Structure 1
């Protein structure tokens, strides 16, 4: 018997679904607000949560991480009465078990429950996951913890893995961790940086060559694909592969065979494939810039790493970890930091993600010299300027009655003015980003759902 919680503000629907759950032999409870639902989750004991999106006290998707992190790590089934493709995508990427549109039949609504419970039973029967070697990987935020679960899943299989995420989110760290925790950890981990492969030497670098295959080939050389035999081949920034190289790689992935330059026979290589990208390969495939058949080969499993701005709870642990490493590297004693220093780091949006954070800490250490404590003024000037601009607000004048209405003075109401400014900003944002909504999210600092809501509110067309 499982314990199921329904978080929905529709009392009649809650009662109907709870009755159906109880008929299936499980216990059911319900809450009519997100706050009440989270409190019940924190009390523990639930296996599956039904979570409505539109609640009186907020958006259910924005509470998903906190609910998933509650005791027992329950599976979450998202429900909504309004079809929202972007919300569905966000729910699945955030680790929701399924996404159910209302109204649906009770059978369709409870089918994900049966599958989720089956999954939990099988996972429990398999036992707890073994301890992973996670060198350099730090974080416990719910969004990041879901990625660690996928890392464990990937390490236990031979499937191809595509690791997605913005620059600086730790894609290569995850790839190395998958290799180190896999059955191939005794083999080589071979990195192919697809963004810097020289076109005139690419075939020699990847496939190798025989002596005399071309001018200057004074001796035979094993290519990277041959070096990965028995180990892992990691294609970093795979979205940068040229069309010709995409075709060549597709054949290698299908047959695990290749021909070195100048060789009379083909060679074989038994490697595990991992790939990483900061680009939208699906959009590239739709536009003809990336082979769809190659994409299918790459993404048997997908790990979508969240940007640092969505991992607020991990900032402190990341700072402590990397500060200790940097002090050790430069032979300095342990450094402390002021509360304002940490507050400044937490407030920054980190468009460069963890890589930018580490660089900022390195610069702060250099600026501090032998001082035992890091302060805000030790941080890079560019970062301090960004924080100052973000925190600077015009001082509000003391309230007074205007001599005449603002409209009569040629001024619009403040709300109307703000909407006009928002519209102007978003129009310019869409123009500059050329319809790339992922880039628009990064530039604006807004969440994807908030950006889409503003576009809809102001009647602007989204350019997916």
Structure 2
């Protein structure tokens, strides 16, 4: 019989789920919070996990990548309430086996559980081929979110179907496309990139199809188009959402026929390519708005690889930083550098809207700024990042200004309480300000929007400034 984990804070729902499992002879373990669910799922190998979306300490869906990254992974059944279709859709996209509603009958729950267990049994009993190690050059990290993406890469590499890779700017969509190619049977053939954002309507046919000598003015020699260059390999459409409707129509025909006719030629040429496309845009929304062809979307999205943002894989930041430093030091032919712990804290606190690409640029900036120094500090990274983290930290209001008094007589008047609270907040702000700016008065004035004289007065009043502060860096 199987081990079943129920992560839900509602006793009545937990009881219903446990009855469905125990009727079939399964052993049930309970977790009431997200934190407790993380702990218990790591302690034992569960066959099935019932996971509630709304938990007291967070969204249950954040645990899904961690569960699916386990070896062997459990089948995850999501518990949703009425009116939560988006949660159910996201869960299925992230690898959940199925979802049930809290209003479902015990019979419906039992059937879902039986199917999940049968599927898992077949999955684990299927003979596993001895595969070559996954080629993942330049894809650095070991977070659950990244491991899940790499597992999908490995799965898609064994296929020859078109893939759509989606994700925010800077997550590394081209690197993952190359990883699919390098782990496929096409790895010994070309990987051809089409920059869709720079593909004008007037030149698209010549670039994609190629042309013969003399086909038009300026065609001094024959040119092989990108589609034929990709014969036997992979054709990668970077930023496919930027294609005009006219060029989209051309690609639809290319995908349907896998043939092209070079400009000036009467002969159709066949190209055996696999297409991988990437975008940071929502193509479904664009299709509804009429700016992207729905028939083309269906063809390029036979398989879908959504990539996590850097915020979803913060555990990888330190590994990425070390990789970038090592690469850049070798590139610039300078001695290796180490990282101050406080700098890592700043990097892990930033929200990284530009994702991995922005992190690399920040480390490049730091290595260049500290070219002759052996240790990287936060002052070496771009000031915009330091200011953003500083504002984020100093804006976080504490839950309580003071412990709750044991007796009502010990509670001070509101005016005293307010004055003390203001003093503490001001002192904490100044401490954070000077810590994050490393005592740089110019930076501190810019962030706090205080004059130099006012800032010095406040630092003295709160005893924050202990030694002479540098004027600038």
Distance 1:281 1:352 in 2: 20
Structure 1 residue 291 displacement after superposition: 0.4
Distance 1:58 1:44 in 2: 22
Contact kept in structure 1, 2:201 and 2:247, CA below 8 Å = no
Matched, 1:50 2:67: no
- Per-residue CA deviations over 1:68-113 (Å, capped at 9, x if unaligned) read 4556432321102232123223323433232222211334334443
Distance 1:143 1:171 in 2: 15
Contact kept in structure 2, 1:61 and 1:91, CA below 8 Å = yes
Structure 1 residue 272 displacement after superposition: 0.6
Contact kept in structure 2, 1:46 and 1:72, CA below 8 Å = no
Q: Cα–Cα, structure 1 residues 294 and 25, in superposed 2: closer, same or farther, change >3 Å?
A: farther
User: Residue in 2 aligned with 1:321?
Assistant: 323
2:160 equivalent among 151, 158, 182: 158
Q: Cα–Cα, structure 1 residues 119 and 210, in superposed 2: closer, same or farther, change >3 Å?
A: farther
- Per-residue CA deviations over 1:243-273 (Å, capped at 9, x if unaligned) read 1111111111011112111111211100011
Distance 1:329 1:112 in 2: 55
1:281 equivalent among 263, 280, 283: 283
User: Residue in 2 aligned with 1:427?
Assistant: none
Distance 1:258 1:116 in 2: 46
Matched, 1:11 2:11: yes
Contact kept in structure 2, 1:235 and 1:274, CA below 8 Å = yes
Q: Cα–Cα, structure 1 residues 218 and 343, in superposed 2: closer, same or farther, change >3 Å?
A: same
Structure 1 residue 178 displacement after superposition: 0.2
Structure 1 residue 234 displacement after superposition: 0.4
Q: Cα–Cα, structure 1 residues 254 and 117, in superposed 2: closer, same or farther, change >3 Å?
A: farther
Structure 1 residue 149 displacement after superposition: 1.3
The 5 Å alignment of 1:188-337 reads 188-337=190-339
Distance 2:360 2:371 in 1: 17
User: Residue in 2 aligned with 1:61?
Assistant: 61
Distance 2:333 2:74 in 1: 45
Q: Cα–Cα, structure 1 residues 373 and 297, in superposed 2: closer, same or farther, change >3 Å?
A: same
User: Residue in 1 aligned with 2:92?
Assistant: 92
Structure 1 residue 25 displacement after superposition: 5.2
Q: Cα–Cα, structure 1 residues 391 and 57, in superposed 2: closer, same or farther, change >3 Å?
A: closer
Unaligned runs of 5+ in 2: 403-410, 419-473
Structure 1 residue 119 displacement after superposition: 4.0
- Per-residue CA deviations over 1:140-177 (Å, capped at 9, x if unaligned) read 22222211111111101011100000110000000000
Matched, 1:121 2:127: no
Q: Cα–Cα, structure 1 residues 152 and 114, in superposed 2: closer, same or farther, change >3 Å?
A: farther
Partner secondary structure for residue 200 of structure 1: helix
Structure 1 residue 5 displacement after superposition: 1.3
Contact kept in structure 1, 2:201 and 2:244, CA below 8 Å = no
Matched, 1:31 2:31: yes
Q: Cα–Cα, structure 1 residues 288 and 402, in superposed 2: closer, same or farther, change >3 Å?
A: same
- Tell me which moved more, 100-109 or 164-173: 100-109
Q: Cα–Cα, structure 1 residues 393 and 15, in superposed 2: closer, same or farther, change >3 Å?
A: closer
Structure 1 residue 400 displacement after superposition: 7.0
The 5 Å alignment of 1:303-382 reads 303-382=305-384
Distance 2:255 2:397 in 1: 62
Partner secondary structure for residue 28 of structure 1: strand
Q: Cα–Cα, structure 1 residues 170 and 116, in superposed 2: closer, same or farther, change >3 Å?
A: farther
Partner secondary structure for residue 223 of structure 2: coil
The 5 Å alignment of 1:166-205 reads 166-205=168-207
Structure 1 residue 114 displacement after superposition: 3.9
Over alpha carbons, which structure has the higher Rg? 2
Structure 1 residue 194 displacement after superposition: 0.3
User: Residue in 2 aligned with 1:443?
Assistant: none
Contact kept in structure 2, 1:44 and 1:70, CA below 8 Å = no
- Per-residue CA deviations over 1:417-436 (Å, capped at 9, x if unaligned) read xxxxxxxxxxxxxxxxxxxx
Q: Cα–Cα, structure 1 residues 149 and 120, in superposed 2: closer, same or farther, change >3 Å?
A: farther
Distance 2:302 2:118 in 1: 22
User: Residue in 1 aligned with 2:82?
Assistant: 82
User: Residue in 2 aligned with 1:21?
Assistant: 21
Distance 1:117 1:383 in 2: 48
Unaligned runs of 5+ in 1: 407-464
TM-score, length-scaled by structure 2: 0.80
Contact kept in structure 2, 1:44 and 1:72, CA below 8 Å = no
